[in-house]
Structure 1
C-alpha cells in the first residue's frame, strides 16, 4: 500500500482522512510526496468531479518503486525516450517545458490554404528537438495516465474522465513560456440541464482563438473526439462530439490528412466501439468560424487506449480482462518503420514484461533495432508476436 507525506503528516492511500487533507492541500498548493522509496518522490493533486486524487509528476514514473502503482516502464522502450531532455525539459518545480514543432500563430492573408506538418512527418522520424502535433497528443495521453488499464476500471472511463485527465496533465506543462492549459481547449461533456453554463465556459475558453483583426492570428490547440466528417464548400468540416459547431478544414489539408491517416481512419470505421481522437491548431475568424490549421489523429478503443493495428487491439482486448495493470507504449515522433514497445506489464513477476508486435513489413533494420532495444533493458522479459508467424503467442 502506498503512503504519502503531506506537510508533516503521513497517510496510507486508503486512509479515510486523506480525502479531506487532499482538498486542503490542493487549496494550499502543496505537493504530496510518495514514500515508495527512501527518498520520497513529489506528486501533484488533481481535481476530478469535486474529488481529489494524487497523480505522479511528468516523467517521474520510472523513478517509483516497481511495486508502486505510480511506477511506469522505462521511457526508452517508447518514442518518449529520445524526447526527454531535448523536446521535453523538467524544471525545478516539476513542470514539463515542451518545445513545439508547429506554430501557435498564423501570419499572412486570412483564409489562405492551411498546411499540415503531419504531411511531412516522415522527415521528422529522427527529430528529437521538438514535438510534432501527434507527439503532443501522445504526451498528454501518457502524462494523463490514459495509457494505463486494469479490468477493475471497466465502465469508469468516459469522455468526462478523459477530458479531466488531459486538462490536469496540461496543467503540469508549459509551451513557449506559457501554461499549456491556457491554450488547450477540450470540449466539455454536454448536459442539457447545464447548456447555458457550458456555453458560457466554452466562450471564455475560446476567447484567445478569436481573430483580433490585426497582427498575427493567435491559435489554440484542441483535443476532441471526431463524430463525423462532412463536405463543405471548398473543403471539409469536422464534427466533434459535445460541440455545437464544426471545425472547417481546407481541401488541400483534408487530402493530406486522408492520406497520412488512412490506417487510423480505416480502423475507426471498422467498429462502432472505436473512437477517433484529433488534436489540431485552430483559430476563429471575425465571422465566428473555427478553422483548422494543422491536425493529427489517433484511434482508441472503447477504454480510450490508443492502438495502431487490429492485431494490437486484439492484444489490448485480451489484456483488458486481467486485473494486472497494462501500459500502452506510444510512438510520439517515431515512424512505423521503427520498433516501439506495444504494451508493458509492470506488475508481472518475477520480472516486468515488455510486449512487442512485429509487423509483416518488418525487415532486417527493424529486427536489428528491436534486438538492441531488448538488450538495453535486461531487467524486462520480452514477449514478441511476429504477425508473419501466425496467431498470438500465449500471454505471460
Structure 2
C-alpha cells in the first residue's frame, strides 16, 4: 500500500487519505510520496469530481520502480534531449515551461504544411523546441496514457483520455500562458446534448476571433480522427466527438500529410480497433471556417497506447494481456534512425526492464548509440529483440 506525507502527517492510500485530500487541496499543500526515504513531491488534482494525488511534471524517474508513479529515465526516450531547454521544470510550482517550434498566431491566410515526422532530426529541434509531435507525446506521457496493465481493460475511453490530457496541460505553460488556455480537446459527443456541447465549444474557441491586429490567433487541437472527407479542394477533417465542426485541410497540406504519415494511415486502414490521433494548430479564415495550419498524426492501440511498427504492436499486444504494468517509450523529436526504449517494465524483480526493438539493417551509429544508452542505465536490465533475426524472444 502506498503511503504519503501531507503537512507532516503520514497517510495510507485508503479512507484516511481520501478524507485529507480535499482539505490539502484547498490549502494548496504538496504531498510527498514515501516510495523514497526523503519523499518525492507530488500535487493534488481535482479529477472527475474526486481529489487525486498526481505525479509532478517529468518527475517519474525520481520514484522507486515499484511505485505506481514511476516512469522510465528521460535518457531512454526522446524526452532526454528536451529537458532543461525545450522543457524547463519549475520544481517549486510543479509546472513545465514549454518552448514550441510552431506559432500560436498567424499573419496572412496561407496554412503551413503538415508537420513532417522526420523533419525534427536537427540539433535545433531536438534540443531547443518542441515539435507538434513532441508536444503530443509529452501530453500523452504526462497524462499517464503511455502506461498500461490488463487490470484497466475496458476502463479507458475517450472521456478518460480527454480528462487526462486536460489535467496534464494545466501543469504546462507556453509563451502566451497556460497550455490549457490554447488547447482544445473535444468532449464526448452525445446526440441529445448536441446544442449544449456546441455552445460550450463556442465559448472555448472564442479566443480565435480576429483581434483586428492583422494576426490570426491559433489554438491546438488534440482529437481522434473520424475521417478525411472529400472536398472540392483538399479535405474536410472530421474529428470524432466533433462531427458538426469539420476543419479544412488545403490540398498541398493534404498531399504532404499522406506522404509523411503513410505508416500511420496504413495501420489505421488495416485495423478498425486502432485509433488515429491528431494534434494540429488551427484558426478561422475570413469566412469563419476552421482551417488547419500545421498537423501531425499518431497511431495507437485500442487501449490508446502509441506504437510505431508492426513489431512494436506485436510486443504491446502481448504485454496488454498481462497484469504487470508496462510503460511505452516515445520518440518526441527524435528521428526514426535513433534508438529509443520501446517499453519499460518497472515491476519485475530484481530490476526494472528496458525493452528495445532493433530493426533490420541498422547502421553502426545506431548500434553504438544503443549500447551507450544501455550502459548509462546499469540499474535496468536490457531486453533486446532484433526483429530481423526471428520471432519475439521470451518476455522477462
Give the alignment's TM-score, normalised by structure 2: 0.95
Partner of 2:349: 349
Contact 2:339 2:369 in 1 (8 A): yes
For residue 122 of structure 1, report the CA deviation from its aligned partner.
4.7
- For residue 335 of structure 1, give the secondary structure of its aligned residue in structure 2: coil
For residue 177 of structure 1, report the CA deviation from its aligned partner.
4.9
Q: How far apart are the structure 1 equivalents of 2:293 and 2:111?
A: 9
- For residue 15 of structure 2, give the secondary structure of its aligned residue in structure 1: coil
Paired residues for 1:356-371 under 5 Å: 356-371=356-371
Q: How far apart are the structure 1 equivalents of 2:233 and 2:159?
A: 34
Between 78-87 and 126-135, report the one with greater CA deviation. Answer: 126-135
Partner of 1:124: 122
Partner of 2:24: 25
Consecutive unaligned residues in structure 2, runs of 5 or more: none
For residue 69 of structure 1, report the CA deviation from its aligned partner.
1.2
Partner of 1:281: 281
For residue 120 of structure 1, report the CA deviation from its aligned partner.
6.6
Which contiguous aligned blocks of 4+ residues in structure 1 show a shift greater than 6 angstroms? none
- For residue 222 of structure 1, give the secondary structure of its aligned residue in structure 2: strand
Q: How far apart are the structure 2 equivalents of 1:305 and 1:123?
A: 23
Partner of 1:268: 268
- For residue 42 of structure 2, give the secondary structure of its aligned residue in structure 1: strand
Between 20-29 and 181-190, report the one with greater CA deviation. Answer: 20-29
For residue 286 of structure 1, report the CA deviation from its aligned partner.
4.5
Contact 2:186 2:241 in 1 (8 A): yes
Paired residues for 1:1-396 under 5 Å: 1-13=1-13, 15-91=14-90, 92-108=92-108, 110=109, 112-118=110-116, 121-124=119-122, 127-243=126-242, 244-396=244-396
Two-structure CA RMSD over aligned residues (Å): 1.6
Between 73-82 and 46-55, report the one with greater CA deviation. Answer: 46-55
Contact 1:353 1:380 in 2 (8 A): yes
For 1:161-203, what per-residue CA distance to the aligned partner results, in whole angstroms no more than 9, with x for missing partners?
Answer: 0000000000000011510000000000012343333222211
- For residue 151 of structure 2, give the secondary structure of its aligned residue in structure 1: helix
Q: How far apart are the structure 2 equivalents of 1:378 and 1:221?
A: 39
- For residue 159 of structure 2, give the secondary structure of its aligned residue in structure 1: helix
Aligned pair count reads 393
Q: How far apart are the structure 2 equivalents of 1:193 and 1:23?
A: 34
In structure 2, the CA distance between the partners of 1:120 and 1:263, relative to structure 1 (3 Å rule), is closer
Contact 2:118 2:336 in 1 (8 A): no
For residue 386 of structure 1, report the CA deviation from its aligned partner.
0.8
Consecutive unaligned residues in structure 1, runs of 5 or more: none
